[in-house]
């Protein structure tokens, strides 16, 4: 798995002001319970592939930025941080293999965990997801991918890579919930106890693309974005639904972008 926290630290240095605006949480109370607002899950579009006011392009010239993997920085990218290898024949790839999705509770070095109020949240409240939940989040990503890349699409999802396969590595990390895990809250076992939040939380998606035969890294991207906020009960059912929606949006954008960049690569 690629060292995405190296990318994250670079992102923090380059866009510190923007990041601070995104991750800032505004705390409030509804019916005596703690809530937070601002931001939701992340939408990631990969490297060269997403729309912007100016078309994404690799930096050129003697002062172009090249990372440790030999990838060149992408200008005009909708991503916070993205790099791609030069002279990649994207049209040769018509198969996709989603490698094991790594989901974890890790955070950047400057992360400050939210304060837990033993009175309102309960003595056992936690913002960290257990191993079973993290595993399921990764499995759900693959399931949604299989639905988005169905049999009618030009890309085939495979489990064995060859020279025509893009291997996609995904890390879901820096997960920031807007309320403690439902089963750990005091309200979970209280009659009439309900927690409302404007969103389910936030997370970072880092993605890397590799050639299926050589294993060469072709592109890397890391981003924090926002989805539509909506006040509602903060429950496991709603949170899983929100997560699947974000996955689906990301994968749909990724699919459309792959089609676009492959077609562009074939033009004379």
So what's the pLDDT on residue 105?
92
Which two tokens mark 138? Answer: 């990764």
Of the pLDDT bands very low, low, confident and very high (cuts 50, 70, 90), residue 254 is: confident
Summarised one tens digit per residue, pLDDT across range 125-166 is 887 889 999 999 999 999 998 898 876 678 899 999 999 999
User: Cα(109)–Cα(115) distance, rounded to whole angstroms?
Assistant: 17
Cβ of 255: how many Cβ atoms within 10 Å?
19
Which of 10-14, 18-22, 96-100, 184-188 is the most confident on average?
Answer: 96-100
Buried b or exposed e, range 173-209, using 16+ CB within 10 angstroms: bbbbbbbbbbebbbbbeeeeeebebbbbbbbbbbbbb
Summarised one tens digit per residue, pLDDT across range 6-45 is 555 555 444 333 333 333 332 333 333 333 333 333 333 3
How confident is the model over 94-106, as a mean pLDDT? 92
Domain that holds residue 126: 4-266
Summarised one tens digit per residue, pLDDT across range 38-67 is 333 333 334 444 445 677 788 999 999 999
As for how many domains the chain has, the answer is 1
Provide the angle, in degrees to the nearest 10, between the axes of the packed helices 131-148 and 236-266: 40
Summarised one tens digit per residue, pLDDT across range 191-249 is 556 666 666 677 788 889 999 999 999 998 887 644 456 666 656 667 788 888 878 87
So what's the pLDDT on residue 236?
64
So what's the pLDDT on residue 139?
94
So what's the pLDDT on residue 129?
87
Of the pLDDT bands very low, low, confident and very high (cuts 50, 70, 90), residue 114 is: confident
User: Cα(222)–Cα(224) distance, rounded to whole angstroms?
Assistant: 7
């Amino acid at each position: 798995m690629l060292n995405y926290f190296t990318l994250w630290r670079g992102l923090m240095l380059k866009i510190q002001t923007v990041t601070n605006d995104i991750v800032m949480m505004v705390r409030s109370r509804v019916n005596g319970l703690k809530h937070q607002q601002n931001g939701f899950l992340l939408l990631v579009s990969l490297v060269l592939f997403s729309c912007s006011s100016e078309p994404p392009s690799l930096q050129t010239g003697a002062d172009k930025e090249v990372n440790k993997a030999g990838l060149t920085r992408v200008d005009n990218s909708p991503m916070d941080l993205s790099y791609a290898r030069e002279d990649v024949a994207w049209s040769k790839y018509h198969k996709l293999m989603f490698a094991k999705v790594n989901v974890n509770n890790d955070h950047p070095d400057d992360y400050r965990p939210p304060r837990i109020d033993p009175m309102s949240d309960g003595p056992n409240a936690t913002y960290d997801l257990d191993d079973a939940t993290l595993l399921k989040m990764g499995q759900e990503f693959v399931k949604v991918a299989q639905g988005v890349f169905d049999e009618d699409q030009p890309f085939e999802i495979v489990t064995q890579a060859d020279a025509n396969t893009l291997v996609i590595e995904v890390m879901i990390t820096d997960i920031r919930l807007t309320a403690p895990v439902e089963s750990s809250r005091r309200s979970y076992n209280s009659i009439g106890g309900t927690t409302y939040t404007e969103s389910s939380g936030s997370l970072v998606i880092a993605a890397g693309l590799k050639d299926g035969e050589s294993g060469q890294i072709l592109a890397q991207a890391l981003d924090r974005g926002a989805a539509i906020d909506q006040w509602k009960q903060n429950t496991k059912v709603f949170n899983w639904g929100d997560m699947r929606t974000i996955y689906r949006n990301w994968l749909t954008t990724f699919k459309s972008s792959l089609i676009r960049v492959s077609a562009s690569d074939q033009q004379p």
